[in-house]
């Protein structure tokens, strides 16, 4: 076998190995990223006590606790939701009204497919 054919064979095998590894990586990542189905009890827990208001044409989801006192508005951070405050709200609601909102594009609020929801846009 000539040196040229030997090099071609090595490069071909290396290329095939790279394609195989990349294919497996894409398969693993898409399987990992795919959202698992949410069972009914978890869905009910996540949506319990959620109300909606229309703000500038979008449905804004929020949770409310407490009936009196000065209102306290809880706003989640980037990639969060009002559910982040679920354990904290009953304690805060002892002496005030507490409202936790899902910002537009997050949690249970409407998502606009034309927006990217980047940190810069927020």
What is the block-wise mean pLDDT of the chain (122 residues), using blocks of 10 residues?
75 87 77 60 77 87 90 90 90 93 87 69 58
Cβ burial, residue 92 (10 Å; 0-12/13-18/19+): middle
Q: Is 82 helix (H, G, I), strand (E, B) or coil?
A: helix
Cβ burial, residue 64 (10 Å; 0-12/13-18/19+): middle
Domain boundaries, the chain: 1-34, 40-101
CA–CA dist 55, 103 (Å, integer): 11
CA–CA dist 98, 71 (Å, integer): 6
pLDDT of residue 83: 87
């Amino acid at each position: 076998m000539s040196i040229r054919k030997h090099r071609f064979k090595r490069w071909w095998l290396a290329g095939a190995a790279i394609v195989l590894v990349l294919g497996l990586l894409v398969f693993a990542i898409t399987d990992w990223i795919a959202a698992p189905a949410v069972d009914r009890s978890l869905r009910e827990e996540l949506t319990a006590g959620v109300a909606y208001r229309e703000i500038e044409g979008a449905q804004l989801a929020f949770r409310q606790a407490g009936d009196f006192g000065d209102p306290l508005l809880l706003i989640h951070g980037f990639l969060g939701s009002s559910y982040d405050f679920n354990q904290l709200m009953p304690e805060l609601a002892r002496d005030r009204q507490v409202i936790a909102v899902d910002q537009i594009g997050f949690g249970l609020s409407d998502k606009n497919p034309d927006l990217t929801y980047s940190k810069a846009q927020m």
